[in-house]
Amino acid sequence: MPKVTVDGIEVEVESGSTVLQACEAAGKEIPRFCYHERLSIAGNCRMCLVEMEKSPKPVASCAMPVMDGQVIKTNTPMVKKAREGVMEFLLINHPLDCPICDQGGECDLQDQAFNYGGGRSRYELNKRSVDQKYMGPLIKTHMNRCIHCTRCVRFSEEVAGVSEIGAINRGENMEITTFLENTIESEMSGNVIDLCPVGALTSKPYSYEARPWELNKVETIDVMDAVGSNIRMDSKGWEVKRVLPSINDEINEEWISDKTRYACDGLLNNRIDTPFIKKDGEFKEASWKEALNFINQNLENKKTFGGLVGQLVDLETSYAFKKLFKNVFNSELVDFRQKDILFDTSNTFNFKFNTTISKIDEADFILLVGANPRLEATIISSRIRKAVKSGCKVFSIGDPGDQHYKFKVIGNNISILDDLLFSNISESKLLKEAKNPVIIIGESVLKSEISKNVISSVQTLLKDINKLDGFNILHQSASNAGSLILGLQTENLQKVYDADVLYLLNADEVNIDKKNNQFIIYQGSHGGENSRIADVILPSAAYSEKNGSFVNLEGRVQRSYKASYPPGFAKEDFEIFNDIAKNKGSNHNYVSFDSLREEMINEHKLLGIYDEIQPSDIENLKIEKHIKKDHLIEINNIDYYQTNIVARSSKTMDECKSVKQQPRKTGTEN
């Protein structure tokens, strides 16, 4: 490994790294705009100039490979002068509109101009002006501010896989744009806002909303899909203003999907802030006491009780919900499935994403079985893209549509799995030779009639080549894996729906066929279709307004934190359960959230180990005998921007949806 001296400090860095990385290893901060750890090297901003011995000119450290014995200096007059010069050139055409710029306060250019700039401008001519570009409903552009670092161009090509942003014209006339100013066709497009080191690309929904120093920042996790991306929620008062990614190399690196980033305005709209009682077919506002008494009256003479847990419900709430049913209603009918789907809970291995997200990068053979990663779990799709770039082959059973990487559809019948097993088709050879095969099963093929068959076929297939680790289930909602661990999958789902009393815990994705005499309680944060058919509505805190924990699809338990507080009379879910129990004369009660969590962890030890993946008990895994079966795969259509109740309440998501439905500009209009 080469040894480099940086400002007299000797550091040893891996061969192939750059001088900039060596400087960082030595603890020296190098200013930069175009360089980004996760993108290719462009070397066009020149801000990272350092002095290198035996070189007559300063060198761009981000693009200079390290060599043994290099002597680098980062604090000489030459470096200072070079930085001042580069900064002066960058600022020549940069408008002085920091006071009205959304990036102000968290702007790389602002900070670096302050730290490394000359302090005043000598330029007296007109600045160039560039027209605003349209980049869809999510990204606001101020192209005057652009310094042409091309991070956004490289991101869209390398990470998002949609080469739609580019630099047109040349020299002074260079402009960043999309072809004919079309919307970017990617579910990751919002990340260019974080990448932009200036205020050229900013968030459209967040524009002029707040200043970064006014915001209350909470590191938490995302529940829009089952990936469990690490995020930071910024709130001002009650309102969650924006969501930003926080770095977790095991999960989301530093990207998040557009839904994660922009659905947060759904937390402000459509909220239930007071209890409602339905009288003569009309909802009337009520106090908590009235609502609880109303529930009590209606629970008399009811025999069966069913509970349905929604997509965004945390572990603690689900656990308390189950206990409420057991201790107070004396019922075991609590489920979380809002569609026809069946998981195998005999072993945690059977419903986890066992490859783990970070290991997808190393895969050399990926088979999607009825899965559409782009829309079901965007972050996983970006990982697959990464694998594809290093030579991985992707095949799919069932056609999921464009995934932004090349893949081959090898049929749309689950019998293809048998063909693979018995080497009837050419792909089975590839599978057998693969070092790290990954098979991803989507929820579309876990329908109760074929679920068992698909799981056993895939496991037999992988067992055959001794690569059982490649067995993956791609969950779609944040509460799935946790609910399965808590044992919320009942034997007969219909019994839950048909119960005399149906208690919906933020469950709004299923169409309930309400029976006569059925009493429906809807407890949730947002009003939706199912709150309309309910007899009583109880307001509760949304996921961002309470502490909790979620299990992501890998089986990783992560804690989410309170970033805001519930509106109006809304309460945390477990407090509502306490009230219902008390009103019914039961002594079922959780004193505090912590005691609830403690009890849950006592019962389910694994749920107390955070941020780690617990290995499944593969040795005792029983693979069911494999039966040949013919069944056509239909991949469920996913309305990406409307998958859960928060997203459905979000104006931004609604706008995204309507933009997607408009035909794209073709360039041949007028």
Partner 1 sequence: MSGKHVAKNQPSSFAFTDENKKKIEEVLKKYPENKRKSAVMPLLYIAQRQNNNWIPLAAIQLISDMLGVTYIKVYEVATFYTMYNLAPVGKYFVQVCTTTPCMIRGSGKVVEVCKKHISEKQGHLNKELDSSWIEVECLGACVNAPMVQINDDYFEDLNAEKAEAIIKGFKEGKLPNIGSQSGRKGSEPIQNRTTLLKKNA
Q: How far apart are CA 263 and CA 205, in angstroms?
A: 10
Q: Based on CB atoms, which residue is closest to partner 1, 169 or 620?
A: 169
Query: Among candidates 506, 589, 510, 591, which has minimal Cα distance to 541?
Result: 506
Please identify which residue in 165, 224, 416, 536 interacts with partner 1, judged by CB under 8 A.
Answer: 165
Write down the least CB distance from residue 665 to partner 1, Å: 10
Residue of 77, 99, 119, 171 that binds partner 1 (CB under 8 A): 171
160 contributes a contact to partner 1 by CB under 8 A = no
Does residue 169 interact with partner 1 by CB under 8 A? yes
Q: Per CB under 8 A, does 100 bind partner 1?
A: no
- Report the nearest approach of partner 1 to the CB of residue 613 (Å): 37
Work out whether 173 is an interface residue with partner 1 (CB under 8 A): yes
DSSP string, 326-376: HHTS----EE---SS-----SSGGGGSBTT-GGGGGG-SEEEEES--HHHH
Binding of residue 178 to partner 1 (CB under 8 A): yes
Q: Which stretch binds partner 1 (CB under 8 A): 161-169, 215-223, 435-443, 507-515?
A: 161-169
Phi and psi, residue 34, nearest 5°: -85, -25
Does residue number 587 form part of the binding site for partner 1 (CB under 8 A)?
no
Q: Is 609 in the site for partner 1 (CB under 8 A)?
A: no
Cα separation, 432 vs 436, whole angstroms:
10
- By DSSP bridging, strand 201-203 and strand 139-141 are antiparallel
Q: Least distance in Å: CB of 378 to partner 1?
A: 20
Determine contact, residues 310/304, Cβ cutoff 8 Å. Answer: no
Sole window of 175-183, 538-546, 607-615, 647-655 interacting with partner 1 (rule: CB under 8 A):
175-183
To partner 1, the closest distance from the beta carbon of 379 in angstroms equals 23
Among the listed ranges 40-48, 275-283, 391-399, 662-670, the one in contact with partner 1 (CB under 8 A) is 662-670
Choice between 159 and 484, CB closer to partner 1: 159
Q: Which is nearer to partner 1, 71 or 167 (CB)?
A: 167
Is residue 164 near partner 1 by the rule CB under 8 A?
yes
Pick between residue 127 and residue 279 the one whose CB is nearest to partner 1: 127
Q: Which residue's CB is nearer to partner 1, number 463 or number 665?
A: 665
In terms of CB distance, is 171 or 585 closer to partner 1?
Answer: 171
Q: Which two tokens stand for residue 649?
A: 């309440």
**Backbone dihedral region for residue 541 (phi beyond 0: left; psi -120 to 50: alpha; all else: beta):** beta
Binding mask 179-208 for partner 1 (x = CB under 8 A): xx----------------------------
Contacts of 119 (CB under 8 A, 6+ apart): none
Among 162, 394, 486, 645, binds partner 1 (CB under 8 A): 162
Helix (H) or strand (E) holding 472: strand 471-474
Q: Between vectors from CA 537 to CA 533 and to CA 538, what angle results, nearest 5°?
A: 155
163 near partner 1 (CB under 8 A): yes
Token pair for 102:
């959304």
Burial readout 368-390 (b: 16 or more C-beta within 10 A, e: otherwise): bbbbbbbbbbbbbbbbbbbbbee
CB of residue 630 to partner 1, shortest distance in Å: 36
- Is residue 67 a contact point for partner 1 (CB under 8 A)? no
Over the window 610 to 649, marking each residue x when it contacts partner 1 by CB under 8 A and - when it does not, the resulting string is: ----------------------------------------
Three-state secondary structure call for residue 664: coil
Instruction: Please state the closest distance from residue 396 (CB atom) to partner 1, in A.
Output: 20
Give the residue with the Cβ less far from partner 1, 91 or 153.
Answer: 153
Nearest in space to 87 (alpha carbons), one of 48, 59, 125, 126: 48
Residue among 54, 170, 605, 625 that touches partner 1 (CB under 8 A): 170
73 contacts 42 by C-beta, under 8 angstroms: no
Residue 628 sits at φ, ψ, to 5 deg, of: -70, 135
The site map against partner 1 for 211-240 (x = CB under 8 A) is ------------------------------
Tokens standing for residue 570: 């809304």
In angstroms, give the least distance from the CB of 667 to partner 1.
4
Our CB check for partner 1 shows the closer of 161 and 528 to be 161
Size of site (CB under 8 A) for partner 1 = 20
Q: How far apart are CA 105 and CA 324, in angstroms?
A: 48
Phi, psi of 273 (to 5 degrees): -120, 0
Q: Which residues pair with 474 in a beta bridge?
A: 442
Q: What is the DSSP letter of 99?
A: G
Q: In the complex, which residues of this chain contact partner 1 (CB under 8 A)?
A: 162-171, 173, 177-180, 666-670
